[in-house]
Amino acid sequence: MKLSQRSSPHCDDRPAGTKVSLVVIHNISLPPDEYGGPWIDDLFMGRLDPKAHPYFEAIAAARVSSHYLIRRDGSVVQYVPSDKRAWHAGVSSWKGRERCNDFSIGIELEGSDGIAFMDAQYDALNELLRSLSFRYGELDIAGHSDVAPGRKTDPGPAFQWERVKAPRRA
């Protein structure tokens, strides 16, 4: 797995004593349905230019991040250390627990709800999940749509859950 690192300012400490128990799978493309540009980096780093594209005007001030991004070619970018809280799930709950950011790892796949993800992305995702499972033990895996139903739709119908091999999907 090809991994590079950036340091997003959009993170903070997890609540004391909080154990990571969940992975939340997302998708992202900026602008929507366009791939490969610098815009996801810019969003997670807090430097997205609202004038670079009309869509960016509404999101440029958002303070969001994810622990990891898996690009279309399978390369992985880490924005937030796994022991920190990334700001990826927003208003959310899982198994009766609110504030999923407190106890989850966020993984974004470069893509969109209705467009197939790449083989290299599934390979990188499974390798990353194995690594996280080794570090944290058994983890639940959920989509953003599972932790924020009615508010979020990702990773979307094009995401093939059956290709997720490790550790398990809740």
72: closest CA among 125, 123, 121, 128?
121
Asked if residue 147 is part of any domain, the answer here is yes
Amino acid (one-letter) located at 70: I
Q: Mind listing the pLDDT tens digit for each residue in 47-105?
A: 999 999 999 999 999 999 999 999 999 999 999 999 999 999 999 999 999 999 999 99
Domain extent, residue 91, equals: 3-163
> What are the two backbone dihedrals, phi and then psi, of residue 163, each rounded to the nearest 5 degrees?
-85, -5
Q: Mind listing the pLDDT tens digit for each residue in 17-50?
A: 999 999 999 999 999 999 999 999 999 999 999 9
Amino acid (one-letter) located at 168: R
Q: Would you state the pLDDT for residue 165?
A: 86
Average pLDDT value over all residues in the chain: 95
The CA-based angle 15-128-3, given to 5 degrees, is 100
> Is 108 tagged catalytic?
yes
Asked if residue 169 is part of any domain, the answer here is no
CATH of the domain at 45: 3.40.80.10
pLDDT, mean of residues 104-111: 98
Asked if residue 24 is part of any domain, the answer here is yes
Residue 96 CA to residue 34 CA, distance in Å, equals: 35
Q: Of 34, 57, 108, 110, which one is the catalytic site residue?
A: 108
Q: Would you state the pLDDT for residue 85?
A: 98
Asked if residue 127 is part of any domain, the answer here is yes
Asked if residue 168 is part of any domain, the answer here is no
Banded pLDDT at 166 (limits 50, 70, 90) = low
154: closest CA among 92, 96, 83, 61?
92
Asked if residue 170 is part of any domain, the answer here is no
DSSP 118: P
> How distant, in Å, are the alpha carbons of 68, 76, 142 from that of 20?
15, 20, 13
How many structural domains is the chain composed of? Answer: 1
> What are the two backbone dihedrals, phi and then psi, of residue 141, each rounded to the nearest 5 degrees?
-125, 125
Q: Does residue 167 have a pLDDT over 80?
A: no
Burial of 43 (0-12, 13-18, 19+ CB in 10 A): buried
